Each structure stands twice: as C-alpha cells, then as structure tokens.
Structure 1
Amino acid sequence: MAPSALSSSPPPAYKTPPNGIAGTVGKFAAASLDERPRAKFLPKDFNPYHNPLEVTETEADAVYPYPHLKPCFPDDINTAPYTPIHNFVDRGTHADPQMRSLLADAKLQHLTVNIGSELSGLQVKSLTPAQRDELALLVAQRCVVVLRDQDLTPDELVEFGRYFGAPERPLHQHPSSGVPRTRKHDDVHVVWHDENMKPSDLAYTATELYHSDVSFELNPPGLTALYNITNPVHGGGDTLFSSGYGLYDALSEPMRAYCESLYAVHSGVAQAEGASKAGLHLRRPAIETVHPLVRTNPVTGWKSIYANPAFTTRIEGVPRAESEMILAHLYGLMTTSPQLTLRVRWEKGTIAIWNNATCNHSATYDHWRPDPSCRRHALRVAATAEIPSLTLPDGSEGRSRQEDIWEEQGLDVAGMKERAKQRPTGGFKD
C-alpha cells in the first residue's frame, strides 16, 4: 500500500478539517480550537514552544554575535503541496562498507551499544564525496552520529545537507517554522529558545515531544543535521534519541508480524493549528499521510518501527481502542527502554546527524532561566528521502538489526529465539 494524503486545507487560518479527521489526540480532538477549554490565565495564542513573533530587543540582543541567524517568520513563502518523489537512492548505498575513506582520518567511538556514535578529527564541510557517502552509511547503521568542534557557515551547512537529498527537492522546507533573518536560506530551520519562552507542561507531555521530523510528508526527511551555535551557559537543552531498529527488535515475533501488516496515519494538522494560533503564516496546506508502521531502511536492510507520539494519530483500519493500545505500547518502550536511547549533550560547534527514518528524538527543556544565559540557538537542514516502505526497493524483505548483527558474528540466532521464549525463574538481582 502506497502512502496517501488523507486531507488538506488551505492556509493561513486553521480549523480542524471536516470529515471527522482530528488534528489532535484526546477527548477534544473533534472540537474546533475555539471550543476547547483553556486555562483562564493563558492568552488565546499562547504556546511556549513557538518562537514569539515580536520580542523587545534587549541589551543582550544588541551584543549577540548571531542576530542575522535568529528566526524570522516571513509571510511571503508560499509553496505548492509537496508531490511524491519516487526512486530516491540513498547516498549510503554508494558507500564502501568498510568506510575506509571516512575512518582514514577520523576516530570512531560508539556512544552506546545500540545507538549513537561520535566521530572526531573531521570537519564535515571538508568531506569528500566518498566520505560523505560513508557518513550516510554510518548514520543509517548507528541512527545518530555526533561531531564536535565544527566550524560551519550557513552556506556550508546547506551545501552539506543538499548532498544527501533527492535531486528534485534536496532539502525539506518546514511549513511554518522560523528561518534565518538573512532570508538567504529559507530551507534552514532555526531552533531558538530564550528567556521569553518559558516551557510549560500544560502544552505537552514529555512523551508527546518525541517525534521524527515532519513524518506526515509523503517523502519524510532522512539524513538530518542540527548544528549548534549557542549553548545555555548553565548546560542543559540536550536531545534524546530512541532507536526505531531497537523498538522493532524489542517486540515478540508475533507482534512484529502484526505490526508489519499495519499502516499508521501521520498528521501535520495539529502542528498547523498551533502555528496558526500563534500567528504564524502557513506556507503549504497541512496534510495527513498513511505510512507503514514498519519500514525497512534501504541502506542497511533493517526494519524499524515508524511511529511517533507527536505526529502519528492512529493505526488505520483497526478499532480505536486497539490503535491506542498498540501505540501506547510502542511509545512506552520507545521512551522508557534505556537500551534504545541516547542523550546528546550539546556544545558550541557540535553537529548531530541522524536519520529520521530510523529513530525518534525529543528536546529537553531543562535549561530555561529568566535571563539570556539560557539561550539555545541551532540551525537544522533535513534532506528529502524515500517514501517509507516495508520492503526494500527490489521488493525483498528486510531483517532485524540485532539478528543480522548476531548472525554476522556467528551466533545461533534460532537457538537464541527459542531461549527467549522460556520464562525465567527467580527474582531480579541488581
């Protein structure tokens, strides 16, 4: 089953679309925004996770070294709905499996067993095409790759990101987020958090902040790079990642097979509603798209769960109670299983490169203070990638990441599966 757009509505003003398609999850999902109850002390357009459109410039702003890269929200960007791109070829498929060009000048350290690696000794702007292809392979295998002490201009970041995207549309342009004030790079997403944006748990739960970037697109982003240029003085603002490969591997054989038969609805409507209520211009109609619940990475051939709390609203074709049960189980494993997760600590000049097809991520909002020392500023580019598919481009089946690695190491995978079915006796020992 190919992905399909379920609904769209024209910008800029947003209400929940007709046809009973809800833009949010919960008991108020079918109501318009104006009909939903609100805390009395909150202004109508309050959203602590949106950059404010107008903020009084302070003394700290006058001396800030990157004012030209702070976000602006132009109302002159209007793009047609994205059309599907077929036959995308991931750059990682061209790589030397041994990654000899990349590792000739770099030190590689795995940050955890299952997810995340750090490369040192390289500047991403200076990588050769062969090294970039091998980096794409490493990202596909490890989900997240971190490099420190990078020195990038916005031009260099954009050129780097475009290398990995589909020729028809190399970089994804966000439908509503801030772009650099220079207006030279409207396909750069600006992450900006400052003393005017106090987080609130009235808006989202910690679980709901986990997401794969704009997964509602027909061709969601694959390789994505976030480059940090300002870090909170007192630390914090880390990013959490959770492996979709590991989430698939955490399921029983029958549950894996069941999930492989399912499709999930990914919705951009709630995001559009929130942006519109905050006064932001919507550049494209919001859509809801159906993607397989399990997708196979075309570079590694490994299967991963493709669902996230921020944009996946339901499993299609099953009773609502069953859909909520499945998603709750997946999200519980995703957010609480230590063996699936990675925490990236940011520094000035850090770039994290991840694949949205194989992992989810979440910001942490622990760094806020009522003064400029809490400011966090980063630039993100996201390369347009393949349409999610359960099978590989040639139609063949994907595999479990863990089982593939075990077999490569000569382990008895069949025997290990049988032992896994046996219920252990005795209590837990620390």
Structure 2
Amino acid sequence: MTRTPETPLPSPKECRRLREAQSLSQADVAAALGVTRATVRSWENGRTTPRGTNRDAYVRLLTGAQEVTPHQENPAPALVGAATGPVQASPDRAEPAPEPPSETPPASELAPEPDPELGPDPAPGPDPAPGPEPAPGPEPELGSELSPEAEPEPLSPSLTPDQAFDALYAFCAPALVRQTYLLTGRRELARESVECAFQLAWYRWPEVAMDRDPAGWVRATAHEFALSPWHRLRPRHRNPEPPPAAPADRALLDVLLQLPPVYRRTLLLYDGVGLDLPETAAETEASTPAAANRLLHAREAVATRLPELAEPKELHRRLAEVASAERLHAAKPTTVRWGGEQRARHWTRAAIAFTVVLIGATTLTLRTAPDHYEPPLAPGATVHGVPPRVAPGPLSAEQLALRAKLKGETVSGPERLVPEAG
C-alpha cells in the first residue's frame, strides 16, 4: 500500500512568525485545531511535529489557504489529545475542546510494543462501568504551571534576574509542591524537593532563563530529586508520615505509592498536570510507546483498586482534590534565593579547601619522596661446606710474656749475633 506524502511544514521559527503575522495567539490556533495550547507550543519549539489531518489543517491555518472551523475534531489518538483536559477554564475560549470518544485509545495506536520494565501487556478485558458524573464546580489547581490556559508569558528582558526568578517561583512553586506530594506521599520531602530544584535553578539561572520551558526544567528537577532512592537512607524518612484524613484520599494515595516510580510519574504528568504524550515521554526520558504503555498499566492498576476512577477525567479531578486538601505551602522566593546563594558559597568554600589540602599533600609528597632509585638489600643466606670462622681466644701466660718481651726490644729489633773466632 502506498503512503500519501505529508504536507510540507515550515520550520518552527517560521510557523511562529506566520502565526504572529496573522495576529493569532497560541490559544486561537489550539481552539481552531481542537488541541491543547501546550501542543501548539511544542510544535513551535520544535519538540514535536503535527501529523495527519492536524498537519494539513495547521499548514492551511498558517498560510491562510483555507478557513479552519473552530473546535475541529482532533484525529490524533485519545492519549495525545489530553483526555483529561485542563483544570481551569480559559477566559479566551468560548467552549472547551471536544473530548475523545473513549478514555483510552486502541492498543494498536498507542503502545504496539510492551514495556520492558513490566513485561507484555495484560489481556484486554471488559471496560468498567463509568462512574457517576461529577457535579460541576470549581476544581483545585494541580498542573496550573503547565496547563495551556495558565501558561506564563515569556520573561521580559526588562526584568532583573531577581524579579524574573520570583515571578517563575510564584507561578510554579504552589502547584509543584502538590505534585511532588503525590509522587512521594511526604509533605516535608515535597517542600524540600521544590526548594532544592529552585535553588539549583537560581544557581544556573542564565541557563534556565534561556531554556524553552523554564517551568518544565524546574518540574523535572524537583521530580527527580523527590524520587531519588537515596532518601530511604535518611533517618527521618524511615518512618511514614500521617496519611490524609479522608478515607478516599488515603486510598488513592496508597494506590499511587504502590506503583513503580516511573509509572507514578507518567500518570501524574499526563492525567494530573495535563501534558501530552510526547512531552510526558520526553520528561520521563522514555520513548512515546513506552510512556503510553506505562500510562495504560498505571491506569489499569488504579482502576483495579478504585473502579470509580477508571475514567481519566474523574482521575484527574481526584488527583487535584487530594493534592489540594493538604494545604501545602512553599517558602518565599527570597528565602529560596538566599538558601541557594548560601549553598553555592558552602560548596565553593568546600571546593577551595579540598584544593588547598590536595596541593599541600602533593607538596609534602614531593619533599619527602626519594629522588633516586635505591635497590633493596638482598636478605642473607647460609653457605654450606665452609667451616665457620673461629675467633681467637684469650692469651696464655707464656704468650703474654713473649708479647711483653717483644714490646721491650728496640724498634730496629735485637742486635745481630756475630760469630766469634774460635
């Protein structure tokens, strides 16, 4: 079967220029194509590229060749189109994007190959009965720092580094602490992870400020620090913290903590924060089929223990409720910046002290080390067949008298004996 060639797509920079030339925002493009704003942003950043019908409609919208109907049906798989949707409604969109017909896409479209960490996919079973429709009302924010409607504006060049950092911290830290709590189940570890991530961001602020997604950089750092296996060696982390007060929240958190860390993180990023599948796979450093497979297995594990959360939309709502019920608060940005600076000073002083000690040890070694080679002395060995040397013993009386007589003679010796004539 022949394959239809894809529509030529301009470069990401050109796509952004064409969109701005038509006075369109990323939200307008997302509403016209029926995708999320984060997806449009990833297209313009070059992280992902549109495919299929989305690609044709995107090119037509940028070039103005054909009018695209708003809220056009998204032909991409259900997992790519953010089945859970954002937490808050966008003020510049008249109505939300249409939801996909099913909460999970077919296995042939999503994960054709099994995840090597878990094994082959389980046999498909009957779909669980959908739970009751939740009552409409305001929902707590869980992934507001990366939701398409709550995306922060680019950092203005007129801001000072302190102001830009404080703006990023005020925008991301509250929701990031709640996310990290869902990953670890520990309140203090969640706060500490977020503070360490922002301290590292302040230490590398020129790199973070120029990053395409500063909020994603900080989120990935905080999640990696929170899921580090070295925390289990700390004395204060050996005892579990008190669980949530509500039984339903305690049951959901218990199910999440029983999942493997990579599955838990994938489920949180997709169903909690609202990232699309390619961005979730990139942040967890996995391929897109592997991330989709992890997501399916994590959803299945949650639905097995809690059947009422089989629908992704309901799971997203419950994740936000559990995270918001703890009333977690982040530290002030000035405190975080001061802590990061103090930490940098300590590490700098430690590096200088280590360098001085290393130089001193090297100098002492050079002064005390030998400057030439001295062959080692061979150990002594016994020689057989040679009589041992006998030392002289004490002199007898006659030998002593003879020695005294010889010493009393003149230096030239005794007089010569001359024979007499007879």
* TM-score normalised per structure 1: 0.25
* TM-score normalised per structure 2: 0.25
Bigger-Rg structure (1/2): 2
In terms of fraction of residues, the more helix-rich structure is 2
